[in-house]
Chains A and B, each alone.
Chain A
Amino acid sequence: MKRNGLLLYTALALAYAFLYLPIVLMVIYSFNASRLVTVWGGFSTKWYGELLHDDKVLDAAWLSLKVAVTNATLSTILGTLAAVVLVRFRRFPGRTLFGGMVAAPLVMPEIITGLAMLLLFVAMEETLGWPAGRSMTTIVIAHVTFSLSFVTVVVQSRLSQMDVSLEEAAMDLGARPLKVFLAITLPIISPALLAGWLLAFTLSIDDVVISAFVSGPGATPLPIVIYSKVRLGVSPEINALATIVVALVGVAIAVAGRMTLRRERNG
């Protein structure tokens, strides 16, 4: 038994190492005093300081954050609506088609979505005059188109697990359908909304492929900036930036996990 336990722990350690060693290395090297990424030159936080003065990176980070929050919020609203329609309205013409269309972006190659988006925006700009160039607006629109599918899937599963008689009971007690949705359905599926929001946020903030097509000189999100910097060689500054991103994402996930857990326990 004991040897078995040892084997299990070794396997576990290897698995963790496989998953997280690269990130740990990156975090360690972000505190490297040497400019050479692979040579340890002592502990230093100077790259973090330098990062603070790099306006290009800061602008990109701020833009990415704005895009991610807007995208997550829009996707959650639209995705929830789609999920409600798919779960609660069993029969309407085109339901199967609608279900398929909502889920399609999940399997659509990103590069095709990106290219299609770019073509659409260019065509629209020529015919309608909007959107003017590649901007935050175009990035958000493109991100919402694929993020909302993920939100729909998450909310859909929660909604179909929910006891329909809860909604019927509320209606029976005198609440009109909209009131039922706001007072009963929404609070009960809120953990799924939160999960969907976070998923959409994460998808948006680390997206490179689609952003590459729909961003422009005036509006470059962080992943694109990092990608273009890395092409000129990995700098410790990028490590510092990535470490900050990892820390932020880690905290966000921990907070969300705790909130979801507490809600689930409360039934």
Chain B
Amino acid sequence: MMIKAAMVLIALLVVCSFGRAWALTVEANPEKIPITIGYHGTTITIRGKGLNAPDIIIQIHSKLGEEHLKYKGKAGGIFWMKLGNIVFEDVPKVYLVYSTRDMHNILPQEACRQLSIGYDALRDKVRIKTKMKDLDRDKWILEFLKFMEEDQLYDEEDGVVHIDKENHTFSIEVNWPFEAPPGDYQVQAFAVENGQVIDKAQTSIKVERVGLIRQLTHMAFEKPALYGIIALVVAIVAGFGVGMVFKGGGSH
């Protein structure tokens, strides 16, 4: 009898917890971003409903991978130049984090780390591979974040997610960077109350090459000899063609 009651209780808890998870929804518009010849990034609207919390954190990221970079330093104590390779492991290529207020006031650092939210969590998890002597981990992670922000691929901003308390909805317009490579991206929404995540939801964005861009990329990687010959023919024809046009001008 006791066992049965316990099982019913567990089942109820599971249903309740699923129920809560489903209460919050999030959607991205557009969900598919086509990379066409005139592509220069786009604006994505992230919105959701079923919000019963005062704060929300939106996190967009690609899957974790490696970033192979060069580090600069002083050679011979005089010249600044690239001195060697440095690899950052377990980092996303794109990482955008937005919140209603200062993240540290919404959610304690420890919770951010546990749930892998924000730069602090990233700092803990990233691994560095390099032959650099006396590696200062904190310094180079900071440099990495600076480098990725410069390329518009990383961003952490407070006070940019708007909440409509009456309708229990939230929204944000994200300037999607054209530097973000094709691929699948996760969009996560976390509802936060009293320093705890009380609900979460997720959706995805797909960035893909289409049309001419897709065909050229395919040819460059799958038929490189043909691609190289076409590049040369175009250049030679253009060069001689313009030469002919100028001759037609009759200046000689």
* A and B: interacting chains: no
Residues of A within 8 A of B (CB): none
Could you list which residues of chain B lie within 8 angstroms of chain A, going by C-beta atoms?
Answer: none
